[in-house]
Amino acid sequence: MKVHDISLTLRQRMPVYPGEPTPLLEPTWQMERGDFCNVSRLTIATHTGTHIDAPLHFLPGGTPVDQLSVDVLVGPALVVEMAVEQEITAADLEAAAIPPGTERILFKTRNSRLLDDEDFRRDFVYLTLDAARWLVERGVRLLAIDYLSVEQMDAQPNVVHQTLLRAGVVIVEGADLRQVAPGSYLLACLPLKIEGADGSPVRAVLVEM
Protein backbone atom coordinates (compact mmCIF):
# COMPACT_ATOMS: atom_id res chain seq x y z
CA MET A 1 0.00 0.00 0.00
CA LYS A 2 1.50 3.33 -1.06
CA VAL A 3 0.48 6.46 0.81
CA HIS A 4 1.04 9.97 -0.59
CA ASP A 5 1.23 12.85 1.87
CA ILE A 6 -0.40 15.80 0.09
CA SER A 7 -0.03 18.23 2.98
CA LEU A 8 2.24 21.26 2.81
CA THR A 9 4.81 21.53 5.60
CA LEU A 10 3.87 24.38 7.94
CA ARG A 11 6.84 26.70 8.33
CA GLN A 12 7.52 30.37 8.85
CA ARG A 13 8.70 30.93 5.28
CA MET A 14 5.78 29.65 3.21
CA PRO A 15 3.20 31.29 0.95
CA VAL A 16 0.10 32.53 2.76
CA TYR A 17 -2.94 34.37 1.46
CA PRO A 18 -2.26 38.15 1.54
CA GLY A 19 -3.07 39.61 4.92
CA GLU A 20 -2.81 36.33 6.83
CA PRO A 21 0.07 35.68 9.24
CA THR A 22 2.76 33.10 8.58
CA PRO A 23 3.01 30.24 11.08
CA LEU A 24 5.05 30.91 14.19
CA LEU A 25 6.39 28.14 16.44
CA GLU A 26 7.76 29.45 19.76
CA PRO A 27 9.33 27.30 22.48
CA THR A 28 7.76 27.77 25.91
CA TRP A 29 9.62 24.97 27.71
CA GLN A 30 13.07 23.83 26.58
CA MET A 31 15.11 20.96 27.94
CA GLU A 32 18.34 22.73 27.00
CA ARG A 33 17.32 25.48 29.44
CA GLY A 34 16.65 22.99 32.22
CA ASP A 35 12.95 22.29 31.68
CA PHE A 36 11.86 18.64 32.02
CA CYS A 37 10.49 18.49 28.43
CA ASN A 38 10.04 20.52 25.27
CA VAL A 39 6.72 22.35 24.68
CA SER A 40 5.98 24.98 22.05
CA ARG A 41 3.29 27.51 21.28
CA LEU A 42 1.94 27.47 17.70
CA THR A 43 0.40 30.62 16.24
CA ILE A 44 -1.34 29.96 12.94
CA ALA A 45 -4.26 31.16 10.83
CA THR A 46 -7.09 28.72 10.21
CA HIS A 47 -6.50 28.85 6.42
CA THR A 48 -2.75 28.20 6.34
CA GLY A 49 -1.10 25.63 4.11
CA THR A 50 -3.24 22.64 3.19
CA HIS A 51 -6.55 23.50 4.81
CA ILE A 52 -10.32 23.12 4.82
CA ASP A 53 -12.84 25.90 4.28
CA ALA A 54 -15.88 25.29 6.45
CA PRO A 55 -19.20 26.90 5.38
CA LEU A 56 -18.74 29.43 8.21
CA HIS A 57 -15.79 30.86 6.27
CA PHE A 58 -18.12 32.69 3.86
CA LEU A 59 -21.65 32.02 5.12
CA PRO A 60 -22.87 33.81 8.27
CA GLY A 61 -24.22 31.15 10.60
CA GLY A 62 -22.67 28.41 8.45
CA THR A 63 -21.39 25.09 9.76
CA PRO A 64 -18.07 25.37 11.63
CA VAL A 65 -15.22 22.97 10.99
CA ASP A 66 -15.83 20.88 14.13
CA GLN A 67 -19.32 19.99 12.89
CA LEU A 68 -18.35 18.79 9.40
CA SER A 69 -19.35 15.22 8.68
CA VAL A 70 -16.28 13.01 8.91
CA ASP A 71 -17.58 10.65 6.23
CA VAL A 72 -17.11 13.41 3.65
CA LEU A 73 -13.45 13.74 4.59
CA VAL A 74 -12.54 10.08 4.12
CA GLY A 75 -13.36 8.01 1.05
CA PRO A 76 -12.73 7.32 -2.63
CA ALA A 77 -11.35 10.30 -4.55
CA LEU A 78 -10.28 11.13 -8.08
CA VAL A 79 -7.21 13.20 -8.96
CA VAL A 80 -7.89 15.01 -12.25
CA GLU A 81 -5.16 16.86 -14.13
CA MET A 82 -6.46 20.05 -15.74
CA ALA A 83 -4.18 21.46 -18.44
CA VAL A 84 -5.64 24.97 -18.34
CA GLU A 85 -3.80 28.25 -18.27
CA GLN A 86 -5.92 30.37 -15.94
CA GLU A 87 -9.38 29.03 -15.09
CA ILE A 88 -11.33 25.79 -14.88
CA THR A 89 -14.73 26.15 -16.53
CA ALA A 90 -17.76 23.88 -16.79
CA ALA A 91 -16.70 23.08 -20.36
CA ASP A 92 -13.29 21.96 -19.06
CA LEU A 93 -15.00 19.67 -16.56
CA GLU A 94 -17.19 18.17 -19.26
CA ALA A 95 -14.11 17.50 -21.38
CA ALA A 96 -12.35 15.83 -18.43
CA ALA A 97 -14.79 12.90 -18.59
CA ILE A 98 -15.21 12.68 -14.82
CA PRO A 99 -17.18 9.49 -14.05
CA PRO A 100 -20.76 10.03 -12.82
CA GLY A 101 -21.09 9.59 -9.08
CA THR A 102 -17.60 10.88 -8.28
CA GLU A 103 -17.92 12.53 -4.85
CA ARG A 104 -14.37 13.74 -4.14
CA ILE A 105 -12.25 15.46 -6.78
CA LEU A 106 -8.73 16.87 -6.48
CA PHE A 107 -7.65 19.18 -9.29
CA LYS A 108 -3.99 19.05 -10.26
CA THR A 109 -3.02 22.12 -12.30
CA ARG A 110 0.00 24.23 -13.14
CA ASN A 111 -0.51 25.64 -9.62
CA SER A 112 1.64 22.79 -8.35
CA ARG A 113 4.70 24.62 -9.69
CA LEU A 114 3.82 27.68 -7.63
CA LEU A 115 4.12 25.79 -4.36
CA ASP A 116 7.92 26.04 -4.54
CA ASP A 117 7.71 29.83 -4.35
CA GLU A 118 7.89 31.27 -0.82
CA ASP A 119 5.91 34.32 -1.91
CA PHE A 120 2.18 34.23 -2.64
CA ARG A 121 1.40 34.12 -6.36
CA ARG A 122 -1.68 35.87 -7.69
CA ASP A 123 -1.66 34.14 -11.08
CA PHE A 124 -2.99 30.80 -9.84
CA VAL A 125 -5.54 28.63 -11.62
CA TYR A 126 -9.06 28.90 -10.15
CA LEU A 127 -12.63 27.68 -10.73
CA THR A 128 -15.26 29.75 -12.48
CA LEU A 129 -18.82 30.08 -11.23
CA ASP A 130 -20.20 27.77 -13.91
CA ALA A 131 -17.63 25.14 -12.88
CA ALA A 132 -18.77 25.42 -9.25
CA ARG A 133 -22.39 24.97 -10.33
CA TRP A 134 -21.39 21.97 -12.48
CA LEU A 135 -19.81 20.27 -9.47
CA VAL A 136 -22.81 20.99 -7.23
CA GLU A 137 -25.28 19.68 -9.82
CA ARG A 138 -23.36 16.41 -10.07
CA GLY A 139 -23.29 15.75 -6.36
CA VAL A 140 -19.61 16.36 -5.65
CA ARG A 141 -19.13 16.49 -1.87
CA LEU A 142 -15.46 17.49 -1.61
CA LEU A 143 -13.28 19.55 -3.92
CA ALA A 144 -9.54 20.15 -3.60
CA ILE A 145 -7.18 22.37 -5.57
CA ASP A 146 -3.42 22.76 -5.53
CA TYR A 147 -3.16 26.37 -4.40
CA LEU A 148 -4.43 28.54 -1.55
CA SER A 149 -7.78 29.52 -3.05
CA VAL A 150 -10.35 27.90 -5.30
CA GLU A 151 -11.54 31.32 -6.47
CA GLN A 152 -10.05 34.09 -8.58
CA MET A 153 -7.93 36.56 -6.64
CA ASP A 154 -9.88 39.58 -5.34
CA ALA A 155 -13.22 38.18 -6.56
CA GLN A 156 -16.09 40.21 -5.12
CA PRO A 157 -18.45 38.81 -4.06
CA ASN A 158 -16.95 35.38 -3.45
CA VAL A 159 -19.64 33.56 -5.43
CA VAL A 160 -17.58 30.43 -6.16
CA HIS A 161 -16.91 29.80 -2.48
CA GLN A 162 -20.48 30.65 -1.55
CA THR A 163 -21.98 28.40 -4.24
CA LEU A 164 -19.92 25.41 -3.13
CA LEU A 165 -20.25 25.96 0.61
CA ARG A 166 -23.97 26.67 0.48
CA ALA A 167 -24.42 23.29 -1.22
CA GLY A 168 -22.41 21.56 1.49
CA VAL A 169 -19.31 20.97 -0.64
CA VAL A 170 -16.16 20.79 1.49
CA ILE A 171 -13.36 22.90 -0.02
CA VAL A 172 -9.75 21.83 0.45
CA GLU A 173 -7.13 24.35 -0.64
CA GLY A 174 -3.37 24.04 -0.84
CA ALA A 175 -3.26 20.31 -1.69
CA ASP A 176 0.28 19.31 -2.66
CA LEU A 177 -0.21 17.10 -5.72
CA ARG A 178 3.26 17.50 -7.22
CA GLN A 179 4.16 13.84 -6.76
CA VAL A 180 0.70 12.40 -7.39
CA ALA A 181 -0.40 10.98 -10.73
CA PRO A 182 -3.99 11.39 -11.96
CA GLY A 183 -6.25 8.51 -11.00
CA SER A 184 -8.31 6.94 -8.23
CA TYR A 185 -7.25 6.95 -4.57
CA LEU A 186 -8.57 6.74 -1.05
CA LEU A 187 -8.51 10.20 0.52
CA ALA A 188 -8.18 10.97 4.22
CA CYS A 189 -8.28 14.70 4.96
CA LEU A 190 -8.87 15.52 8.62
CA PRO A 191 -8.92 18.99 10.16
CA LEU A 192 -8.28 19.88 13.76
CA LYS A 193 -11.54 19.72 15.67
CA ILE A 194 -11.62 23.39 16.69
CA GLU A 195 -14.92 24.47 18.16
CA GLY A 196 -16.61 27.19 16.13
CA ALA A 197 -13.75 27.58 13.63
CA ASP A 198 -14.21 28.75 10.03
CA GLY A 199 -11.50 26.37 8.80
CA SER A 200 -8.46 24.39 9.81
CA PRO A 201 -5.14 23.12 8.52
CA VAL A 202 -5.31 19.42 7.63
CA ARG A 203 -3.01 16.44 7.33
CA ALA A 204 -4.20 14.95 4.06
CA VAL A 205 -3.10 11.70 2.44
CA LEU A 206 -3.98 9.76 -0.70
CA VAL A 207 -3.74 5.97 -0.60
CA GLU A 208 -3.28 4.12 -3.88
CA MET A 209 -6.23 1.77 -4.43
Return d(Cα 53, Cα 201) in angstroms, integer.
9
Q: Using the predicted structure, report yes or no on whether residue 94 has a pLDDT greater than 90.
A: yes
Q: Using the predicted structure, report yes or no on whether residue 119 has a pLDDT greater than 90.
A: yes
Return d(Cα 147, Cα 132) in angstroms, integer.
16
Q: Using the predicted structure, report yes or no on whether residue 209 has a pLDDT greater than 90.
A: no
Q: Using the predicted structure, report yes or no on whether residue 46 has a pLDDT greater than 90.
A: yes
- Give the model's pLDDT for residue 34: 97
Residues involved in catalysis:
57
Q: What is the mean pLDDT of residues 115-125?
A: 93
Helix/strand/coil for 34: coil
Numbers of helices and strands, H then E, in the chain: 4, 12
Q: Using the predicted structure, report yes or no on whether residue 141 has a pLDDT greater than 90.
A: yes
Q: What is the mean pLDDT of residues 192-207?
A: 98
Q: How far is CA 140 from CA 55, 143, 170, 187, in A?
A: 15, 7, 9, 14
Q: What is the mean pLDDT of residues 93-110?
A: 97
- Give the model's pLDDT for residue 36: 97
Q: Using the predicted structure, report yes or no on whether residue 1 has a pLDDT greater than 90.
A: no
The model's confidence at residue 167, banded by pLDDT at 50, 70 and 90, is very high
Q: Which of 100, 93, 125 is nearest to 112 (CA)?
A: 125
